[in-house]
Structure 1
Amino acid sequence: MKEKIERFARGEFEYDLPALKLSLEEIVINVEAGKQYEGSFTIGNSANRVMKGLLYSSSRLLTFNQTAFAGKEINIIYRFDATYLKPSDIIQGKVVIISDCGEITVPFTAHVEASAISTSIGKIKNLSEFANLARMDWTEAKKVFRSEDFEKIILKNEEKYHVIYRNLLKSISTSQALEEFLIAVNKKSRINLYIDKTHLEYDVYGEDILDKLILSKDHWGYAEIRVSTDAPFILLEQKFLWSDRFIGNNHNITFSVMADRLKPGINYGHIWIKTVYQTITVEVYCKNHNESLNHGSELKNRKKLVYDFTRNYLDFRLERINKTRYIQKIKDLIPDLDTDKEGTIIKLIRTHAAILSDDRQTAALLLEELGKEEAYIRRKSGFEYCAYLYLVALYKKDEDTVRNATEIISRYYFRDNFNWRILWFLLFTDRRYERNKYYKITDIKEQYEAGCRSPILYYEALCAYNEEPYLLRELTDFEIQVINYGIKNNSLNKELAFQFTYLAGRLKYFNPIVYRGLTRLYDMYETEEILSAICSLLIKGYKRERKYFEWFKRGVNANLRITQLYEYFMYSVDEDCMDPLPESLLIYFAYNNRLNDKKKAYLFANIIINKHENEYIYQIYYKEIEEFVKEQLEDQNISPHLAVIYMEFISKPELLDYYVKYLPGVMFTQELHCDNPNIISAVVVHKELDEALTIHLTEGKALIQLYTGDAHIFLIDTFGNRYVVSIDYSLRPLLNPENFMDIAADYENHTGLLLYLLDHYRANRIVNEEAIKIRKQALSIPGLKEKYYIDCLLTIIDYYYENYDEEHLETYLMKLDLSKVKESGRLKYLEYMVIRGYYDKALEALMYFGTEGISVQRLLKLCSGWITNSGLDEKEDLLLYLCYYIYSQNKYDESILNYLVKYYIGSVYDMLDLWHTAKGFGIDTRILEERLLAQILFTEADIDDKYEVFLEYYKDVTNHLLVKAFLTYCAYKYLVHDQPICGDIIPIIRRELNYEENNITLLAWLKYNSENTMLSENDIVFISYHIDRFERQGTVFPFFKKYCDTIKLPERITDRYYVEYRTDPKKQVFIHYRMKNKAGGEYHTERMPNVFLGIHIKEFILFYNESLEYYITEELTDQVNETDIRQLSFTNNLDLNEDTKYNRINKMLKALDKREDEILLDMMEEYIIYEYIINECYEPLP
């Protein structure tokens, strides 16, 4: 702007001001409430030249990416902010474009619509419509769910769901988060699955079987389904399913039964179908009929036959069956043997059966037959040969036969790698084993150590121990297995049982087999020795599980003297059981209590609960429990048992300080219990706090802190997904905070207690001094969410306002950010701020949420107060906007007008209107006049009132450059464009010319006064001087001739006729003329010189009765414009009395025209004489 004014002051002008060109005539905006709208338009000009300018908006809601611009064509991006507007609001205003190509106003209208999200099913704006989208297109719903607009638009009026939404978004699976959210907001139900079959049976004949299960669901939505099996012969087609893949409500789970993976016979397996909510089990039963597996079946049958023979033998030896039944069973099993492969074995078994049944005749025949085959048997199998010798010895029983058999069997035993079956023959033939059982046990133990686990040998060893219990001297693996075998089969005699008990008590480590054996022995004998061994063994094994408690309980009740018995009683006790503890245990721990804190808590809680049954014990423990309470409170520990203890001592004056200081840390604890095995942790979210707390579950339980009644609990599964309503859980408060309301707890240092009290006072709408104290303290809670901070602050402010406490009111009012207050309450607190004079705070708030909905009267009070308080020296854009808005509503005062006068910039017409108003108030408008005049010059606005403004400004002028530019501009328009000029500035031009030369204003002054007959002598001298100066410079204007009656003009001016043509100085101008009285003459063409700023002048000398016709062409590049033909003629109104050569010639021509011959001759004679004298007497100047 300054640059253009300087150019005007220098007399540099643009002949034609280019017209502004805009890409639109009006800005129409459709914007969603709470959002911003961005659009653009272009500014250009008709000359396509570089231009400069400024942009102003009448509304603070419409802003630009740039308020100043420069260029040939500028793209302006505008942004309309509807963040704080409501649906159906209509905002109207205008955009003022101020440029060096002129000024233009563009109206705008913004229609505020309800916020919505565009989707494939149309625009959605609430939860019901969103749920419909999820039902129609789950994938698109997920994108919307994750978008920033979801919370702003869909949950705009659902404040209670914001916490749920934000925390569910932290799930690993967006689909699961969306599913849970829809369930939480009651827009759908949880999906339940059903299967068509839960038991499957197949007969497999060597080929794979393909089958399917039909899985059904009962609702739409999302479920992640995992399919698994424990059977290697089941091949699943899919291991993961998603509910959106269902056709309708069904889905086929296809699987194959793989024949080559089946074991012979019956095969069992399961198929599990799991979601986080359900586990469906399908049992699979397969019978393999594959003939290629016959060999395996034979092997299996063979093993079974061996087992049956062994079982039959042991049943006989253990006296479970008698000899007759034993022999009959042998006979029943013999047919199952293969006669081809096992002929000798069959004969040996029959022989053995005959001997046992005292059928000596049959036995003799069989032995005779075997004797014939002795050589063959000896070569074939050492085992079978030894068996033959054993049977011979058993049959004959004489010493020689037995000794011979023993010797041969011994050789085979040592030669045949100590075959345990051969050893068994020796056990019954070698008399050494009868004489000394130690050898028998030693050889059997060697077999065990070599890997033999035959129950037949276990039994033989057991028999030896039963006969001589003292031989059981240690408990290695062998002895334990033998004794265990005996116990399981009820074959231990009492002496051996007690020997085993003695040795078990001396073990240094826990052995589960020994433990089981002892428990069975105790069931049989119930002696303190066995009970002591059991308890000692458990203690050595650090067995503290609940399943061992019964043994420790029995030990305590039996008053066993075992180290740490009482401790292990406490470690293993069911802590939910509060039956009175044994008195001996209580007395023990009264003097020797080394339990951990958890067990101490149980012990003390049990004592307290049962104190009425044993007051003596309660008194013994009282001091210890009291100290324990102090320690636990200091450490902020809590459990169900500690809760009992804390409640017991709550009323004790000596502990009051501890409760006041430490109780808030534990009083809000609740026990969470969730039976769902997929849940591993929980997140506790208090809507008042930014931070959430994650707690891991142990055996489905966790202790959590809940300070408010509406805190949210989010359960987290093994995959990191969150659940808020679809998975059941239970809560059990350990303490009831209401029981401690009478305790003046230290809430200043405890966030939880503050939240609890705050929630209590808010829920019950209690506003008293104590409630205000709590709210004031709550303001300093770390991580307190903004909404609750503002809620506390507003309650405090209202309280102090209503109770006329100005000091505190000011303190907390200064903390308030009005932009954070709900729209419904803003006006009240804005009024508080204005009343208290906090104009900066109020103005800062309006910068965010705007003035929409606020009465003009309130704004007037605010702005006027701010200006009065801060003065006019500080410019605030928002304040300036508000002041003009108030002014535009015809509600203003002097302070607002003063502020506008000093700072307002708008359209020329708006500024002019403000100027008129301010003048009416008698306000000094000089600074506004200067801005207004500068803008008029910059935009070249053609308004009549500009002279009035200038004349007022000139009275106390400060910017002489602006004055010069304005006068020069007006003079230029008057000279070149014939725009009327105000006569009141002509004297000012004259005055300014006394200080500085300015040909433009000078010529304008000369032109204006060329018809003035009331000129002063000074003016006449001034005119004469300057016209003469211009004439000498060769610059002559036609209006100079109008001064012929005022001053003596040079003959060059008076003798000439002038053709004047005004156009753009950039153009070339040519005049085409010919004398009119020369019919058919050709036009002469001459270039018309640019005499001054586009004023082209051509002078002609015309004599009496002469006339010429002409037309003018102007050229610019390839463009040529031509005027109509015009005429220039000699005029008779010239003063011919003046004695000039030109007049003498014209007089002669006039006499000739009138045929006055005598007069003509006289004038001709006189003309010749004058010319002669001049030529003779004068010479031209060198």
Structure 2
Amino acid sequence: MKEKIEHFSKGDFEYELPLICLSDEEIRIKVEAGKKKEGSFTVSASTGRIISGTVYSTNRFMKVDNPQFHGVENIIHYYFDAAFLKEGERFDGELCIISDCGEALVPFLAEVENSYFMTSLGKIKDLFQFTNLARADWSEAKKIFRSEDFERVFLSNEERYRTVYRGLMGSISTSQALEEFLITIHKKSAIRLEVDKTEIEYQISQEQISDKIVLTKNNWGFAEIRVSADAPFIVLEQKFVWADRFIGNTHQIAYTIDPVHLKYGINYGNILIKTAYQTLKVQVVCRYRKENRKVSDRRRWQKLELGLVDNYLSFRLNRIKVTEYLAEAEAMVGRLPGPEVNHRKELMRIHMAIVSGRRKLAEELLVDLSAVDGVLKKKDGFEYCCYLYLEALYKREDALTQVAARTIRSFYEGSRSDWRLLWLLLYLDKKYEKNRGDKLQDIREQFKLGCRSPILYYEAVCIVNEDAYLLRELNDFEIQVLNFGIKNWILSKEAAQQYVYLAGKRKTFHPVIYSGLCKLYDEYGTTEILSVICSMLIKGMQRSEKYFPWYRLGVEAHLRITELYEYYMYSVPDKAEITLAQPVLLYFIYNSSLSDRKKAFLYASVIRSKDKFESIYRSYYKRMEIFAEKMLEGHYISRNLALLYKEFFNKSTLSDEVLKNLPYIMFRNELECGNPNMVSVIVVHKETGEEETAALVQGRAQIDMYTNNLEVLLVDNLGNRYAQSVDYTLTPYLNPEDYENRCSEQSDHPMLLLHLFDRYESYRIVSDKAIALRKKVLGTPGLTPRYGALCRQTLIEYYYENYDDELLEQYLEKLDLSQVAPAERTKYIEIMVIRALYDQALEALETYGVEGISINRLVKLCSGWMLREEAAIKKDIMVSLCHYVFTNKKYDEAILSYLVEFYEGPTREMFSLWKAAKQFDLDTHRLEERLLVQMLFTESHVEESFMVFHGYYRDITNHTLVRAFLSYYAYKYLVHNYAVDQELLPIMKRELYYDENDICLLAWLKYNADNNRLTEQDLIFAEYNIARLVRKGIVLPLFLEYGNRVALPERLTDKCFITYYSDPKKQIYIHYRLEKDQEYITERMPNMILGIHSKEMVLFYHEELEYYISEESSEATDLTESFHIRYEREEMPKGIHFQQEDEASNYGRINRMLRARELGDDDTLLELMGHYIKQELMIEACFYPIE
């Protein structure tokens, strides 16, 4: 601006002001609530020159990044800030462009719309539309779900879901978090899976088999499905399946059965399909057989052998009759291979013939087999020994039996690895009849060699049953043998007693012995067996809940076993509300080495049975009370401890120490979850926003729940979180309402404070106690800004109503208005104004705007702030605020004074402000200076603007500005014929006495050219300056208007002047001729001043001049239309001026001669000619040229 004022003061003007070119004539925008909308437009000059200026906004929400601009094409970046605006609000205003090419307004209209995301489905604004997007394009929905704007767009009014969303975003899988979020907001249900079959059976030979399981889901969405197999022969193509890979609602899980990993016979395996919610099992059965005939026969023979052994044992164990045994055996023997493989089929037939009493058949078969006994002896010693055994069994001859026994033993001793030979000897060798110990020892030796045949086990059991005292210790052999006997219910009572006796002597726990003792107790139910079971469990330190029934039986049987009662307590299920037997309660009265957990269980049982065992309860009372205090001091809680606390810490017996400790545990709950995939639980209270994590141990965890504003999230073993889809139960240990009031007297524990605060807020309780509590809540660590603001709001309203100014201001100063609902925000801003907290109020208004604030409150704010020292410094928000109340016709002298001092804006607004300030008789000098500068800079014309100048001129401080203003308006009047205030003319003349200014001088001469009231002094002034200007080469036709009043320079006499106004940067040429048949004569019209071009000519009576004018610039040449002028005194064309004719001059005499000739007055003509010649002669005689 200063530069342009300097130019004006020097008479440097732009002939034609360029127009402002705008890329946008108006701005219409839609902006999302809570966001900024950016845009831009360009400002340039119509002539393409550099344009400079400033942009102002009339609305504080519309802001300009670069308000000052300078350049050929200027990009103005703006943004509309809707950070705290609501959907549906509309704001209009103008961007005012103040430039050296003038002023322009760009009106704008901004509509605040609901926040949205632009997606493939178009704009989505709510959770319903977001759900539709997730259903159509899960990947796109997932990107939006991860976006920082998700909360702002979808959850701005959903506080509960905001907490859930933040918690779920901690999941390892974003897709799982999205799935769970949609389930939580009830837009879908969890995916459940089904398989088309649960059992599959294959017959496998050598080739691999490929197959598929069809998996079906019941819903759209995301699921991470883990597929595994528990058998190596099942080879899966993929171990992970995602629900979005399903075609429709089905997916095929391909797998292969690999024979390499199969064993002969039946193979079992499972395909496991797991999600966070389900585990599906598909059983796979493979019957594997090779095509090799030898292998197949061997397998068939092995299977038949096993069948024969099972059948034999069933017979010996009296499970089947001999007829059934023989029938089954004959059926299996019939399937054995013939003699071309071996002779066992014949041997079995002989055995069955002997057993069934068919001696003739047995004899025939033995005779047939005796023919090959030599071959048998060489080929298969076992078959040969079997033949000898059967022969001896058939003939029953001692000598033959002894020979057979010796022969079989020789084979056995040659190779002790074949237990079957020993089995034959057990029935042939007479020495075993006399010494059962040797018989048992030989069987033991076979066990040591690895034999685990149930046949030998049976034989050993039979020996023990006959002589129980052969059992002297319980080693692996004895344990296995006796366990066989117990399982098959064939162990004699005496043997069982010996087994129990030996078991009782063991120092360690053995699971097989324990299992056997349990079965014996089921059979006999003796105290001795029970005692041994309990003793063994105690020696083995077995405290598992599964052993509790034995300890309970031991206690009920009054067994005298060391630590029986302790182990009884260790193994008792903690969740079971068991009433302990009286002996147990009596035992622990004076002897208690239990852990704290078990003590709590014991004491809880005492309390439950106090009506039944009152004396025992009294004996325990003091110890239980001390224990309860100790546990409370350590902040422990459980179901049993909760019972103790309820018993000893009732309302009438609460000590100060107890009241201080109770808040640590009184809000604790037990969470129980049956889903084995869950490993921990997270609790988020909205008051703090912090995550508190507890591990799930055996599906249970303890969590604190001290307000109703919380979310519970379960975490699986992969790190994913679940808010709704996984079931759990919550059980409170205590009822906080029983203690909260008393505790609040002694404790300021954060959980207690927030619990009470939640209740007070829910029921809108505003009492002295509630107010005191809210003060304490503000000091709670980790309190979220929202709840801090909620607390302060109540305190502010309370102290406002109760006129406590000091506390009111204290909480107002710390109130975070961003956390206050928009509908209530204005109330607190007005209270700030009332309490003269002007800085806080201004900061709030700068952020949230003045909408909704009473104008009277704003006036008070402005006026009150003006009384401070800071009022001497410009503050943008205060300028904006003062102008706002000014435009609403509510202001006072202080507000006007501040605006006068600092306001800058559109010229019309500044002029309105000036007029208002004048009505208050304020010092407007600074405003007038700014306004004059801006009017000159923009070349804006404002009605009554001369009044501003007059006001400024009275106390002039900037002479350059005054000269520029006078010069500008003189120029506009002189060149463009603009109206000029007559009061400016005297000022212009006055200034001419101090400083030469030809522009103002010419304007004064032009204005007074037809003024017949000029004083003699004025005429002297005019004559002097016209002569001076002519000497400078400035010859203008307006000087001729003074011809009859002052003496004009000779140069002006007898002349015709043609005047043309144009841009001084252009070259102006006149093209003229006197006769139509002549060529045009071209001459440049000189620029007298400021683009006023003038051509002087001599034109005699009745001469006619034809001319046209051309303008030449660097771009083009422009021609005007042709003009004709004659020497006539009546009317001249515009721009044509004749000097008033002087009849005494030669020019006048010649014109008179021409008129006389035209009139035919020869006498007059001759007379005039005579006078002319005489005068010329006299001049020639009397005067000569000065050399």
Smaller-chain TM-score range? 0.7 to 0.9
Secondary structure of residue in 1 paired with 2:104? strand
Distance in 1, Cα, partners of 2:323 & 2:20: 129
Partner of 1:968: 967
CA spacing shift, 1:790–1:652, aligned 2, 3 Å: closer
Shift of 1:29: 3.5
- Contact 2:1102–2:1126 (CA under 8 A) maintained in structure 1: no
Partner of 1:375: 374
CA spacing shift, 1:205–1:453, aligned 2, 3 Å: closer
- Contact 1:98–1:104 (CA under 8 A) maintained in structure 2: yes
Partner of 2:842: 843
Partner of 1:5: 5
Amino acid across the alignment from 1:50: I
- Contact 1:305–1:333 (CA under 8 A) maintained in structure 2: yes
Shift of 1:555: 3.5
- Contact 1:5–1:934 (CA under 8 A) maintained in structure 2: yes
CA spacing shift, 1:14–1:714, aligned 2, 3 Å: same
Matches within 5 A, 1:584-623: 584-586=583-585, 588-623=587-622
Shift of 1:933: 0.5
Secondary structure of residue in 1 paired with 2:109? strand
Matches within 5 A, 1:1136-1147: 1136=1142
Secondary structure of residue in 2 paired with 1:983? coil
Partner of 1:47: 47
- Contact 2:169–2:177 (CA under 8 A) maintained in structure 1: yes
Partner of 1:1085: 1082
Please tell me whether residue 1094 in structure 1 is matched to residue 1094 in structure 2. no
| TM-score, structure 2 as length reference | 0.87
- Contact 2:830–2:853 (CA under 8 A) maintained in structure 1: no
Shift of 1:918: 1.5
Distance in 2, Cα, partners of 1:757 & 1:1041: 100
- Contact 1:1136–1:1147 (CA under 8 A) maintained in structure 2: no
Amino acid across the alignment from 1:43: V
CA spacing shift, 1:950–1:400, aligned 2, 3 Å: same
Amino acid across the alignment from 1:1111: Y
| TM-score, structure 1 as length reference | 0.88
Indicate the larger mover: 46-55 or 678-687: 678-687
Distance in 1, Cα, partners of 2:1109 & 2:218: 95
Matches within 5 A, 1:814-825: 814-825=813-824
Shift of 1:1033: 4.1
- Contact 2:1104–2:1124 (CA under 8 A) maintained in structure 1: no
Amino acid across the alignment from 1:512: P
CA spacing shift, 1:89–1:459, aligned 2, 3 Å: closer
CA deviation vs aligned residue, 1:806-833 (integer Å, no higher than 9, x gap): 2221211222233432233233323322
Indicate the larger mover: 222-231 or 994-1003: 222-231
- Contact 1:234–1:255 (CA under 8 A) maintained in structure 2: no
Distance in 2, Cα, partners of 1:1081 & 1:246: 100
- Contact 2:1153–2:1165 (CA under 8 A) maintained in structure 1: no
Distance in 2, Cα, partners of 1:319 & 1:114: 87
CA spacing shift, 1:1009–1:76, aligned 2, 3 Å: same
Partner of 2:634: 635
- Contact 1:410–1:426 (CA under 8 A) maintained in structure 2: yes
- Unaligned runs of at least 5 residues, structure 1: none
Distance in 1, Cα, partners of 2:254 & 2:1186: 135
CA spacing shift, 1:473–1:1020, aligned 2, 3 Å: farther
Distance in 2, Cα, partners of 1:473 & 1:576: 43
Q: Aligned pair count?
A: 1173
Distance in 1, Cα, partners of 2:582 & 2:373: 77
Distance in 2, Cα, partners of 1:752 & 1:374: 95
Amino acid across the alignment from 1:15: Y
Amino acid across the alignment from 1:753: L
Distance in 1, Cα, partners of 2:560 & 2:292: 61
CA spacing shift, 1:438–1:11, aligned 2, 3 Å: farther
- Contact 2:684–2:691 (CA under 8 A) maintained in structure 1: yes
Distance in 1, Cα, partners of 2:183 & 2:317: 66
Shift of 1:861: 3.2
Partner of 1:1112: 1109
Secondary structure of residue in 1 paired with 2:625? helix
CA spacing shift, 1:542–1:1127, aligned 2, 3 Å: farther
Partner of 2:80: 80
Distance in 2, Cα, partners of 1:1040 & 1:21: 41
Partner of 2:66: 66
CA spacing shift, 1:334–1:1054, aligned 2, 3 Å: closer
Distance in 1, Cα, partners of 2:552 & 2:284: 44
Alignment identity in percent? 50
Indicate the larger mover: 453-462 or 1043-1052: 1043-1052
Partner of 2:163: 163
Indicate the larger mover: 918-927 or 1129-1138: 1129-1138
CA spacing shift, 1:535–1:1126, aligned 2, 3 Å: farther
Please tell me whether residue 923 in structure 1 is matched to residue 946 in structure 2. no
- Unaligned runs of at least 5 residues, structure 2: 1130-1137
Distance in 1, Cα, partners of 2:845 & 2:713: 39
Shift of 1:757: 0.6
Shift of 1:686: 2.5
Partner of 2:94: 94
Indicate the larger mover: 80-89 or 44-53: 80-89
Partner of 1:26: 26
Please tell me whether residue 943 in structure 1 is matched to residue 930 in structure 2. no
Distance in 1, Cα, partners of 2:484 & 2:294: 33
Shift of 1:803: 1.9
- Contact 1:437–1:464 (CA under 8 A) maintained in structure 2: yes
CA spacing shift, 1:1168–1:283, aligned 2, 3 Å: same
Distance in 2, Cα, partners of 1:1104 & 1:574: 140
Distance in 2, Cα, partners of 1:315 & 1:90: 96
- Contact 1:1067–1:1115 (CA under 8 A) maintained in structure 2: yes
Amino acid across the alignment from 2:1123: I
- Contact 1:5–1:937 (CA under 8 A) maintained in structure 2: yes
Secondary structure of residue in 2 paired with 1:872? helix
Matches within 5 A, 1:513-552: 513-527=512-526, 529-552=528-551
CA spacing shift, 1:158–1:489, aligned 2, 3 Å: closer
Shift of 1:423: 3.1
- Contact 1:204–1:259 (CA under 8 A) maintained in structure 2: no
Indicate the larger mover: 79-88 or 641-650: 79-88
Secondary structure of residue in 2 paired with 1:732? strand
Matches within 5 A, 1:799-838: 799-838=798-837
CA deviation vs aligned residue, 1:1107-1142 (integer Å, no higher than 9, x gap): 65433211012411223335485989657488x898
CA spacing shift, 1:210–1:480, aligned 2, 3 Å: closer
- Contact 2:204–2:259 (CA under 8 A) maintained in structure 1: no
Partner of 1:482: 481
Distance in 1, Cα, partners of 2:151 & 2:836: 37
Distance in 2, Cα, partners of 1:232 & 1:420: 35
CA deviation vs aligned residue, 1:763-792 (integer Å, no higher than 9, x gap): 222110111112222223333333332222
- Contact 2:34–2:84 (CA under 8 A) maintained in structure 1: yes
Shift of 1:503: 4.2
Partner of 2:783: 784
Partner of 2:454: 455
CA deviation vs aligned residue, 1:447-483 (integer Å, no higher than 9, x gap): 3233221223334444555566555454433332223
Distance in 1, Cα, partners of 2:1004 & 2:628: 107
CA deviation vs aligned residue, 1:125-170 (integer Å, no higher than 9, x gap): 5555666666777676666666666654555555554434444555
Indicate the larger mover: 832-841 or 157-166: 157-166
Please tell me whether residue 1121 in structure 1 is matched to residue 1118 in structure 2. yes
CA spacing shift, 1:777–1:1040, aligned 2, 3 Å: same
Indicate the larger mover: 570-579 or 716-725: 716-725
Partner of 1:867: 866
Please tell me whether residue 899 in structure 1 is matched to residue 871 in structure 2. no
Distance in 2, Cα, partners of 1:610 & 1:258: 62
Partner of 2:1133: none
Matches within 5 A, 1:329-728: 334-341=333-340, 344-349=343-348, 370-391=369-390, 405=404, 407-416=406-415, 418-428=417-427, 439-465=438-464, 472-494=471-493, 496-527=495-526, 529-558=528-557, 560=559, 562-586=561-585, 588-651=587-650, 656-718=655-717, 720-728=719-727
Secondary structure of residue in 2 paired with 1:605? helix
CA spacing shift, 1:509–1:1019, aligned 2, 3 Å: farther
Distance in 1, Cα, partners of 2:94 & 2:327: 118
Please tell me whether residue 857 in structure 1 is matched to residue 856 in structure 2. yes
- Contact 1:1103–1:1130 (CA under 8 A) maintained in structure 2: no
Indicate the larger mover: 450-459 or 910-919: 450-459
